[in-house]
């Protein structure tokens, strides 16, 4: 974050009254934000020798930008983390990052379980937040991150949260490619509506407007009506949302035509229906840009606002300049246009790696530098990309990945469960919901009962099944193995019947 920090410090000297952030507490100038950042940088510098790795409570407020500037001024790495994270998630982050400092509200640090023995409080900053720093007084340096400057945790598809490490050059490339594609200009307000604790939101919700010289309009807690009001009131020109959020906006009473100030709204991160998107954008008075990207390779395809709806909404855009997306055929070689196969990507927004045991673990790439995305895709004759689903068993609910194997293991461990199969059921608003087909070993199981037990076990709420469907037997194929496709069909039928 060093380059961005230097740019914003210089801007604060030239135009200190320029509005940098608008959040729930009001408008904040670049001068105010930089002053708070310099205070935090001094606090970190007084407590630690060297460039620190700092885990930060990433709210959608001025504080996140100030923290990023402060850590950039110290030459460190920022790890953004949700205040709603469970203790178990903090423990994963602690093991993967081995941070030198933690900056968070006192109550948040307590809920995460920050240890005073190893990370004692050394002062406050950012208007009262606690600054915890290593008891050794020595930062481990950032060489261990191989050029990484930012980390965020993603739910991933492996059953264990992953800390994705991104470089500043990747953030700048993805941000500038988006600015160019959308046609944004300095001063155009950009809305940060997705929590800044994700890699994509940090890049497109915070870094992009800061680099552009644009006000960052923040919503700290998602409510569609509040998001509409903010974007309309502050004449926001661009934002990025997951499909669920975008569709929810169109369902707010009185929302018709409210987003005519938007040049475009980028939509990605989950299953998308062209008809639903078209209906919503027409209602709101804007244009949606359906995109493909991932935490590991930020926003690497996009259409243009000038493209016809069939391209903007019916496929996933074209690769950013300098990025290559290819599809493999059955022979493992790059396939011709129109062929469906596994997708691979190579480009400047590829991540540094995953954080493991306090350092960046290099990603597994092909010999020619491509990352396998885990998606099935097709490259069309016109160069546009169509993403057709995941290769692995992942449910994407409202833009968040839910690993089927992880949920099955959690439900299978509950008393009274003999067998379980977790599958997606379609949902017009969220894209997919998780349904558990369960064979009971005793008393009949209920949705409320299963969710209560998962809560007691500390299993993350967003991964809970939303349907528990008791069946006498799980579908099997002719050799006695689980027939997952038949399970998907059965669950859809039973879920629809239970909702009727």
Q: What average pLDDT does the segment 321-335 reach?
A: 93
Specify the DSSP class assigned to residue 28: E
Q: What is the pLDDT of residue 74?
A: 97
Do 155 and 401 touch, CB atoms closer than 8 A?
Answer: yes
pLDDT-derived band of residue 394, with 50, 70 and 90 as boundaries? confident
Most confident option among 122-131, 242-251, 294-303, 488-497:
122-131
Contacts 24+ apart (CB under 8 A), 389-393: 390/157, 391/342, 392/157, 393/484
- Percent share of the chain, pLDDT over 70: 96
pLDDT attached to residue 479: 45
**pLDDT computed for residue 392 by the predictor:** 67
Specify the pLDDT at position 280.
Answer: 87
pLDDT (0 to 100) of residue 216: 98
pLDDT at 389 over 80: no
**Positions of CATH 3.30.300.30 in the chain:** 394-499
Span 320-336, mean pLDDT? 93
Name 9's Cβ contacts closer than 8 Å, sequence gap at least 6.
Answer: 34, 38, 69, 73
Please tell me which residue, 216 or 409, carries the higher pLDDT value.
Answer: 216
* Whether residue 206 has pLDDT greater than 80: yes
Average of per-residue pLDDT across 263-288: 85
185 or 410: which leads in pLDDT: 185
Q: Which has the minimum average pLDDT: 34-43, 55-64, 168-177, 288-297?
A: 288-297
> Which CATH entry fits the domain spanning 394-499: 3.30.470.10, 3.30.300.30, 3.40.470.10, 3.30.1330.40?
3.30.300.30
The token pair at 477 is 């194929």
Average pLDDT score over the chain? 91
Secondary-structure class of domain 2-385 per CATH: alpha beta
Please give the residue that has the higher pLDDT: either 388 or 298: 298
At 477, is the pLDDT very low, low, confident or very high (cuts 50, 70, 90)? low
Q: What is the C-alpha to C-alpha distance for residues 24 and 220, in angstroms, rounded to an integer? A: 7
Q: List Cα–Cα distances, 288 to 25, 175, 265, 274, 303, in angstroms.
A: 29, 18, 5, 10, 9
* Separation between Cα atoms, residue 309 and residue 304, nearest integer Å: 10
* pLDDT of 246 over the 90 cut: no
Q: Is residue 342 within 8 Å of residue 327, measured between CB atoms?
A: yes
Q: What is the pLDDT of residue 158?
A: 47
Q: What's the pLDDT tens digit per position in 346-366?
A: 999 999 999 999 999 999 999
pLDDT tier at 270, thresholds 50, 70, 90: low
Residues of each domain in the chain carrying CATH 3.40.50.12780: 2-385
3-state secondary structure of 72: helix
Average pLDDT over residues 267-290: 84
Give the pLDDT band of residue 135 (cuts 50, 70, 90).
very high
Global pTM value? 0.82
């Amino acid at each position: 974050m060093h380059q961005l920090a230097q740019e914003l410090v210089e801007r604060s000297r030239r135009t200190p009254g320029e509005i940098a952030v608008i959040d729930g507490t009001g408008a904040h100038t670049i001068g105010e934000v930089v002053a708070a950042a310099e205070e935090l940088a001094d606090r970190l510098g007084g407590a630690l020798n060297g460039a620190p790795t700092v885990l930060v409570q990433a709210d959608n407020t001025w504080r996140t930008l100030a923290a990023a500037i402060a850590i950039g001024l110290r030459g460190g790495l920022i790890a953004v983390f949700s205040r709603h994270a469970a203790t178990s998630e903090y423990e994963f982050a602690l093991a993967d990052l081995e941070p030198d400092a933690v900056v968070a509200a006192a109550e948040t640090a307590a809920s995460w379980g920050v240890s005073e023995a190893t990370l004692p409080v050394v002062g406050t900053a950012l208007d009262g937040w606690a600054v915890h720093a290593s008891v050794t007084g020595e930062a481990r340096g950032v060489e261990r991150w191989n050029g990484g400057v930012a980390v965020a945790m993603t739910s991933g598809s492996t059953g264990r949260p992953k800390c994705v490490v991104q470089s500043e050059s990747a953030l700048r490339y993805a941000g500038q490619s988006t600015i160019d594609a959308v046609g944004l200009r300095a001063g155009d307000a950009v809305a940060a509506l997705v929590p800044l604790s994700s890699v994509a939101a940090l890049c497109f919700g915070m870094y992009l407007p800061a680099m552009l010289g644009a006000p960052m309009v923040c919503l700290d807690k998602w409510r569609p009506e509040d998001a509409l009001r903010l974007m309309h009131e502050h004449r926001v020109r661009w934002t990025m949302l997951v499909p669920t959020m975008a569709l929810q906006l169109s369902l707010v009473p009185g929302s018709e035509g409210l987003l005519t100030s938007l040049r475009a709204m980028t939509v990605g991160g989950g299953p998308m229906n062209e008809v639903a998107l078209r209906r919503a954008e027409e209602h709101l008075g804007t244009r949606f840009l359906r995109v493909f990207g991932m935490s590991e390779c930020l926003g690497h395809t996009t259409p243009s606002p000038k493209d016809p709806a069939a391209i903007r909404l019916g496929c996933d855009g074209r690769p950013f300049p300098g990025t290559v997306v290819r599809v493999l055929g059955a022979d493992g070689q790059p396939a011709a246009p129109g062929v469906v196969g596994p997708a691979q990507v190579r480009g400047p927004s590829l991540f540094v790696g995953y954080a493991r045991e306090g350092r960046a673990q290099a990603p597994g790439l092909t010999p020619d530098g491509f990352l396998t995305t885990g998606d099935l895709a097709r490259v069309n004759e016109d160069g546009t990309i169509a993403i057709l689903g995941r290769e692995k068993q992942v449910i994407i609910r409202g833009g968040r990945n839910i690993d089927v194997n992880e949920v099955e293991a959690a439900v299978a461990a509950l008393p009274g469960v003999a067998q379980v199969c977790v599958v997606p059921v379609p949902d017009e608003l969220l894209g997919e919901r998780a349904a558990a087909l369960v064979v009971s070993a005793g008393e009949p199981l209920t949705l409320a009962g299963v969710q209560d037990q998962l809560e007691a076990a500390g299993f993350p709420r967003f991964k809970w099944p939303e349907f528990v469907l008791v069946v006498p037997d799980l579908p099997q194929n002719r050799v006695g193995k689980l027939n997952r496709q038949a399970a998907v069909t059965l669950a859809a039928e039973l879920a629809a019947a239970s909702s009727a």
